[in-house]
Structures are given as C-alpha cells and as structure tokens.
Amino acid sequence: MIEKPVLIKEDGTRHDGRKSEELRPIRMEVGVLKNADGSALVEFGRTKVIAAVYGPREIHPKHMTLPDRALIRCRYHMAPFSTSERKSPAPSRREVELSKVIREALEATVFTDLYPRTTIDVFIEVLQADGGTRTTGLTAASLALADAGIPMRDLVAAVAVGKVNGVLVLDIDELEDEYGEADMPVAMMPSLGKIVLLQLNGVLTPEEFKKALELAKKGINEIYRLQKEALTKKYLSYPEE
Ligand code: ADP
C-alpha cells in the first residue's frame, strides 16, 4: 500500500510550503495565439492551461442556430502529454462533463443576445495537469473571451478549496486533491458577487462549507485582480499605429 504523504506539516504549512490560505504562484498572459480571436495562457503552479476563443461567427451545422442569441460551444480537453501517464486523446466522460459545466458558467456572463444566429467557440486545452484544471481553464476562458472583445457582465475567476487533514486550504493541487477529504471548485463573477460554478467532491459540515466559500472568495478576488492586470498589460503594450 502507498503511504499517505504528509499534507500538513507540524508547523502548519502544506506539502509544498504554502500556508493554508495561500494561492500557488500564478501567471497569466493574454493574446498568446495569433489565429484565435482571443486567447490566454494561465498557470497555477504546475497546472498550465491555454484557452482560445473564436467568434462570434457563423454556425456549422446550421441547424444548431439559435434565433435570439449566440450559441456558446465549449471543449475542455486534456492533452495526452498533460498527465504523468499518457492520457487518451479521446474525450472522456469527465471531459464531457467539465465542458458542460464550464460552458454553463460562461453562458451566465456573456451577453449572448447581442449576437443572434452566431456561435462563440471556446477551446480549453490543459497542457499540464496538477489539480485545479477546471478552475484554471475557466479563468483562462473568460480572459480569452475578453481578449476577443466579447461583451460580458463580468470576468469569471475560479479556484478550488479543499480539506486536507481536517484543514481548509486554498487552491489545492493534485496531491491534496488525491489524498484530501474534500475538493470544492468555485467560480464567480467577482464584481457582481455571483457564483457561476460550485461543485463539491467529498464531505464538509455546513460550518466548513461556509468557511470554504469565504476562503474561495478571498482567492477569487486576488485572481480577479491578476486577470485585470493581465488584460491591462496587453492593451498598454499594444504597438502604436
Ligand atoms: P480538476 O483538474 O478541476 O481539479 P479533478 O478533480 O477531476 O479536476 O482532477 C484533479 C487532478 O487529477 C487533475 O488536475 C489532474 O492533475 C489529475 N487527473 C485528472 N484526470 C486525469 C487523468 N485522466 N490522468 C491523470 N491525471 C488526471
């Protein structure tokens, strides 16, 4: 049997040295792909995700057309080289589910009624997985939508809170996810204070749930600040005509 790793050390820090309420080192870059209308690369520690947005554009197949709004299509996919053992490139049940919940979260923020009879295609490709790929993917997708100039009510920022050795911790990685007691990804439209995704794998008491949500909100506010910084950086460095 594989021994459970020490997730919370004697001094209260986590296996990677972080404090319980600390995010992993985050990097965000907008406009990383030439051929997409909008794109973003987001890293949370070793988790690396790229998002590409195309549209609003004509729909194929035509029968999917919605007369009163744009159709958002979303594909979340893990590259075969993103995990330690090669992952089959075929979409798994997990990837189909994640594509759906991510699409629903994005539908809450995009003003789809501005672009009837069109589609907005969102591609999320996980380049390297170390936990939190759905939240990193969603954070990257909303940056890519903003980069594509698509009007939104707010950005979407997301992070997962976990419970390991009875302690609530922010932004869990794969090891904490695998050996911890609970994993709760949360996505919000931060300035509107609206939750657009909330899942819970594991068990939390009602009290822990409230605390976990507060912790997620704290992380989300910081992620939101970094998103705005990444968008500002791209437009400030735009070459002059
Ligand atoms: P999330 O990535 O949003 O946390 P999960 O909780 O389902 O989603 O997955 C946790 C982590 O487990 C992933 O980030 C990844 O590092 C790892 N993982 C998920 N699916 C696979 C897979 N098919 N092969 C190897 N590792 C995987």
For a pLDDT cut of 70, what percent of the chain falls above it?
Answer: 98
In the three-class reduction of DSSP (H, G, I as helix; E, B as strand; rest coil), residue 165 is classed as coil
Residue of 173, 174, 178, 197 to test ligand 1 pocket, by largest number of atoms within 8 Å of CB: 174
Ligand 1 centroid, distance to 90 Cα (angstroms):
15
pLDDT of residue 76: 98
Residue of 83, 94, 127, 184 to test ligand 1 pocket, by largest number of atoms within 8 Å of CB: 83
Q: In the block, which residue shows the tokens 């004697």?
A: 10
Mind listing the pLDDT tens digit for each residue in 59-100? 999 999 999 999 999 999 999 999 999 999 999 999 999 999
Residue 238 has pLDDT above 90, yes or no: no
- Name the phi and psi angles at 152, rounded to 5: -135, 155
Average pLDDT over residues 105-109: 98
Residue of 134, 173, 177 to test ligand 1 pocket, by largest number of atoms within 8 Å of CB: 177
pLDDT of residue 236: 84
Q: In the block, which residue shows the tokens 């520690």?
A: 45
Task: Set out the domains of the chain in order of their start, with CATH numbers.
Answer: 26-236 (3.30.230.70)
- Closest by CA to 76, choosing from 150, 137, 157, is 137
Strands 167-170 and 201-202: unpaired
Confidence of residue 122 (pLDDT cuts 50, 70, 90): very high
CA pair distance 166, 103, nearest whole angstrom: 32
pLDDT of residue 235: 83
For residue 53, list its beta bridge partners: 38, 122
Task: Report whether 219 contacts 192 (CB < 8 A).
Answer: no
- Name the phi and psi angles at 8, rounded to 5: -120, 120
CB within 6 Å of ligand 1 — which residues?
83, 87, 94, 129-134, 160, 174, 177, 183, 185
Q: Which tokens is 114 given?
A: 């501005």
